[in-house]
Amino acid sequence: MNICVTNLSHETSEEALRYAFSAFGQVRSVSIVGDKETGELKAVVSMPVEQEARTAISRMNGQNLHGRIVQAVGQMKSNILQFREKPAVARPDHRGARHNAHGRADRRGVRRNGHGRPHRGKRRRS
C-alpha cells in the first residue's frame, strides 16, 4: 500500500522517512517529489503489508518530523505522481483557441456591450 506524506521539511531525506516508517513494518520504497508550483515537498512511502501501512498512517499523521507536522494519507493506486497531477492553467485545444464546455471559443479579454457585441469604445461627435 502506498502512503502519501505531505507538509515535509526541505531537510527531510528519504532515509529519515524510511527510518520513521520502518518502526511500523517493512518499507518497500520511499520517494520524495517537489511540487514545482508551490515548492513544497511530498513523498510516497510504499509498504507491502496493508495492516502495517494503516498503522503507520494512523501513528505518523500529525507527528513532528524535522520541525513540521506531517500529514500521512493512504493511497490505493500505485501511481507515485498521482497527487501532483493538476492542471496549472487552461490549455488551448487542437483548434488553437480556448473553448468552453459548449464548444464555443472563449473570448476572454473582449469587452462586451449589453447586447453581446464587442464594445467599440466612445464615439466622438464632431
Q: State the pLDDT at residue 38.
A: 83
In this structure, is residue 85 part of a structural domain? no
pLDDT single digits (tens) 11-22: 999 999 999 999
Tell me the pLDDT band of 85, cut-offs 50, 70 and 90: very low
12: domain CATH number is: 3.30.70.330
In this structure, is residue 8 part of a structural domain? yes
In this structure, is residue 126 part of a structural domain? no
Identify which has the larger pLDDT, 92 or 5: 5
In this structure, is residue 92 part of a structural domain? no
Q: How far apart are the first and last CA of the chain?
A: 77
- Domain, as residue range, for 51: 2-75
The count of other CB atoms within 10 Å of the CB of residue 12 is 20
Rounded to whole angstroms, the Cα distance separating 27 from 17 reads 10
Rounded to whole angstroms, the Cα distance separating 94 from 105 reads 12
Q: State the pLDDT at residue 58.
A: 92
In this structure, is residue 27 part of a structural domain? yes
Residue 112, amino acid? R
Identify which has the larger pLDDT, 71 or 122: 71
In this structure, is residue 110 part of a structural domain? no
Average pLDDT over residues 50-61: 92
